[in-house]
């Protein structure tokens, strides 16, 4: 970011509500059992995080567990209620409902005046220009993201901050309250940096974690789908059909998850104003610089706006965020295409199975038609036999040696009738030739 060290602002209410912070490298203490109960991975503690827990107090109504990261990757676990979150991030109460269980399966990246609300799959966070609050950090699917976030922030920001800490204090701008601010660069080039702003670093890590998770789910779907579908194509059985039904249910749910994240990113890419509102560091630094200038310059002085614009660029410059979102949009689009390919393969397999079933159904119909024709031919012979079996006087009964010739003649007549009807059915395409 800039050349001067960052300063993290704390409100008066937050200073009054500060809780005891236990550094991770401190000797064993009574809270170790509590950490074990909360199932915090040892890597979280060894990597530089801190735990902030209230002593002798029960969890207040509406308070939830959050993990706070600052710009250098230092972390602490705290319990905050809705009012504390609203005061800290200056967001409306409805945004907290987005992070609640009702919208747990939705995807949102919302820009507010001083914060960004992120609800992507298992990641539910509130990002400001100075820190990030992560909801439910002890869930097993969130722990890898927590560790990745800490490592990335420490790697990207801590060396830079430690290197800048030795700069002379005379270069800092100081407000009337005595708080030190970032140094004001002499030109626009003095502010430019290859590093993304803090909020975009967090957003990038969140998108990477979500896309990686979805990509892993898509890979598992592909590995499970093709063998099941091949088995169904070879053998249409109840067991195979049940596997395919379960597969289609999983595919539909996964496609909906990928589609929601993809649509949210696409919505941001289509609106430059929304993307510009996500530049929290830009707005934060602009406010700090304006406060510094206002202390020595009249508020209506034309140099204030000119100098600020020269430092931070145009407000509609969203190229960095657009490139970031575009990269993950393409990755999600690729995952979506893989799912659609699996669904297309399922549809093709179902069409193939339906063709097989239709063919078997046609064979059954032909067999049934053949049996009907045979039954009709035999019914003629039965009619003749029934007629002669009646107790009616007939001169033919007196002729010696007539029985067997008569039987063979009636059988031959029935067989001939059967063959004639079969030939006619084949001639009109009722039976295969």
pLDDT tens-digit series, residues 349-383: 999 999 999 999 999 999 999 999 999 988 888 88
pLDDT score of 13 more than 70: no
According to the model, what pLDDT value does residue 258 have? Answer: 95
| Closest to 88 (Cα-Cα) out of 107, 70, 106, 102 | 70
Q: What is the mean pLDDT of residues 251-272?
A: 93
Predicted confidence band at 29 (pLDDT cuts at 50, 70, 90)?
very low
pLDDT score of 47 more than 50: no
pLDDT score of 249 more than 80: yes
309 vs 255: which has the higher pLDDT: 255
According to the model, what pLDDT value does residue 334 have? Answer: 94
pLDDT score of 124 more than 60: yes
According to the model, what pLDDT value does residue 306 have? Answer: 47
According to the model, what pLDDT value does residue 194 have? Answer: 57
According to the model, what pLDDT value does residue 196 have? Answer: 81
Predicted confidence band at 287 (pLDDT cuts at 50, 70, 90)?
confident
According to the model, what pLDDT value does residue 269 have? Answer: 92
Residue-averaged pLDDT of the chain: 76
Q: What is the mean pLDDT of residues 139-158?
A: 84
According to the model, what pLDDT value does residue 302 have? Answer: 47
7 vs 341: which has the higher pLDDT: 341
CATH number of this structure's domain 13-153, picked from the four choices 2.40.128.330, 3.40.640.10, 3.40.50.1950, 1.10.260.40:
2.40.128.330
The tens digit of pLDDT for each residue in 218-238 reads 999 999 999 999 999 999 889
According to the model, what pLDDT value does residue 64 have? Answer: 86
According to the model, what pLDDT value does residue 340 have? Answer: 95
22 vs 229: which has the higher pLDDT: 229
CA distance 332 to 325: 10
Percent residues over pLDDT 70 in the chain: 70
Q: What is the mean pLDDT of residues 98-123?
A: 85
Q: What is the mean pLDDT of residues 76-98?
A: 88
Q: What is the mean pLDDT of residues 192-199?
A: 71
Predicted confidence band at 63 (pLDDT cuts at 50, 70, 90)?
confident
pLDDT score of 51 more than 90: no
Tell if the pTM clears 0.85, that is, is over it. no
pLDDT score of 172 more than 70: no
Domain with CATH 2.40.128.330 in the chain: 13-153
Question: Are 159 and 92 spatial neighbours (Cβ–Cβ below 8 Å)?
Answer: no
Most confident range (mean pLDDT) of 4-8, 276-280, 283-287 is 276-280
pLDDT score of 292 more than 80: no
């Amino acid at each position: 970011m800039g050349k001067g060290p960052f300063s993290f602002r704390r409100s008066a209410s937050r200073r009054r509500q500060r809780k005891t912070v236990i550094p991770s490298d401190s000797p064993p203490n009574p809270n170790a059992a509590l950490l074990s109960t909360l199932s915090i991975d040892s890597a979280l503690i060894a990597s530089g995080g801190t735990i902030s827990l209230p002593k002798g107090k029960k969890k207040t109504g509406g308070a939830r567990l959050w993990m706070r990261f600052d710009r250098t990757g230092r972390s602490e676990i705290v319990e905050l209620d809705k009012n504390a979150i609203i005061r800290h991030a200056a967001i409306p109460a409805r945004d907290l409902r987005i992070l609640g269980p009702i919208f747990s399966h939705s995807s949102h990246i919302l820009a507010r005046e001083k914060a960004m609300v992120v609800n992507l799959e298992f990641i539910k966070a509130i990002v400001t220009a100075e820190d990030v609050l992560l909801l439910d950090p002890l869930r097993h699917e969130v722990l890898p993201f927590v560790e990745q976030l800490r490592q990335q922030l420490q790697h990207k920001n801590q060396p830079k901050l430690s290197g800048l800490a030795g700069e002379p204090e005379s270069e800092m701008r100081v407000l009337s309250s005595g708080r030190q601010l970032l140094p004001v660069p002499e030109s626009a080039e003095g502010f430019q940096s290859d590093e993304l702003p803090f909020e975009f670093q967090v957003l990038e890590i969140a998108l990477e974690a979500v896309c990686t998770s979805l990509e892993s789910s898509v890979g598992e779907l592909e590995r499970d789908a093709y063998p099941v579908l091949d088995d169904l194509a070879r053998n249409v059985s109840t067991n195979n059909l049940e596997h395919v039904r379960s597969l289609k249910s999983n595919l539909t749910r996964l496609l909906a998850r990928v589609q929601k994240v993809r649509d949210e990113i696409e919505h941001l890419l289509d609106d430059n104003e929304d993307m510009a509102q996500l530049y929290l560091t830009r707005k934060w630094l602009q406010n700090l610089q304006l406060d510094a200038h206002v202390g020595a310059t009249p508020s209506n002085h034309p140099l204030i706006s000119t100098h600020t614009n020269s430092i931070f660029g145009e407000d509609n410059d969203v190229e960095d965020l657009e490139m970031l979102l575009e990269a993950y949009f393409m990755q999600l689009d690729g995952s979506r295409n893989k799912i659609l390919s699996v669904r297309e393969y399922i549809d093709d397999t179902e069409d193939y199975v339906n063709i097989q079933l239709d063919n078997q159904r046609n064979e059954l119909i032909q067999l049934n038609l053949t049996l009907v024709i045979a039954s009709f031919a035999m019914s003629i012979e039965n009619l003749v036999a029934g007629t002669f079996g009646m107790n009616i006087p007939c001169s033919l009964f007196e002729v010696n040696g007539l029985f067997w010739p008569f039987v063979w003649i009636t059988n031959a007549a029935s067989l001939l009738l059967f063959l004639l009807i079969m030939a006619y059915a084949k001639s009109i395409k009722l039976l295969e030739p």
